[in-house]
Amino acid sequence: MTRAFIKYLARSIVATAILTFAATAIAQDSVSVDADRPAQSRSLDQDVQALKNEVLDLNRDLSLLEADLLFPASSQVALFVSLDVGEYFELDSINIKIDGKEVSNYLYTAREVEALMRGGVQRLHMANLKTGEHELVAVFIGKGAQDREYRRGATMTIDKGLGAKYVELKISDRIRKQQPEFIVRDWE
């Protein structure tokens, strides 16, 4: 299935849901007021809720299908960021280039950095790459010791084979040298 077909299918589902909700509202307005009204109203509300749940399920399925079409496992590469620092580096932004082409430039908020420092991992970028070797360059920008501007690059050659490839960009403190260490490695 193509992306255009998926969009067409999603629009059709949304249009059907809107028409169903409109018809339900009209039907609800036209129901005469009598003793059975509370029972009919409850039944109608249950039907509407069931329809809403079906639309949400279809939307989730369409999102998964779109992700599979856009990023098939055979060509997928995902880059993740992890942080194990505190004293020697305060992350501000990361710039990623693959084969000389800038693919991601991310500026971090204080809350995002705090979440990473508590053990969080962020998916920074996802892409499709052909099999073979590719050069990954990550530039980490932030503040080092004594609030000095700090800009450091790390390079890795990605050997993309069949199947998904996961790469970790790890920032950690090097206590011996009292400076941060930037590691780019395959994530198994």
Report the C-alpha gap between 180 and 86 in whole angstroms: 9
Q: Are residues 65 and 99 in the same domain?
A: no
Give the residue from 20, 49, 70 where a domain finishes.
70
Q: Are residues 104 and 154 in the same domain?
A: yes
For residue 161, the enclosing domain spans 76-186
Cβ contact 141:92 at 8 Å: yes
CATH number of the domain enclosing 107:
2.60.40
The domain tally of the chain equals: 2
Give the residue from 70, 86, 105 where a domain finishes.
70
Q: Are residues 89 and 182 in the same domain?
A: yes
Edge-to-edge strands, sheet with 121-128: 121-128, 76-84, 165-174, 179-186
Tell me: the pLDDT tens digits for 31-44?
A: 544 545 666 677 88
Give the residue from 22, 37, 70 where a domain finishes.
70
pLDDT of amino acid 57: 86
Q: Are residues 81 and 170 in the same domain?
A: yes
Give the contacts of 181 (CB within 8 A, at least 6 positions apart).
171, 172, 173, 174
Q: Are residues 44 and 123 in the same domain?
A: no
**What average pLDDT score do residues 136-145 get?**
89
The answer, yes or no, to whether residue 9 has pLDDT greater than 70, is: no
Cβ contact 96:138 at 8 Å: yes
List the single range of 21-25, 82-86, 108-112 with lowest mean pLDDT: 21-25
Q: Are residues 107 and 57 in the same domain?
A: no
**What average pLDDT score do residues 13-36 get?**
58
Cβ contact 125:105 at 8 Å: no
Tell me: the pLDDT tens digits for 121-133?
A: 999 998 888 888 9
Would you say the pTM of this structure is higher than 0.75?
Answer: no
Q: Are residues 100 and 155 in the same domain?
A: yes
pLDDT of amino acid 20: 62
> Mean pLDDT for the chain?
80
Q: Does 153 or 6 have the greater pLDDT score?
A: 153
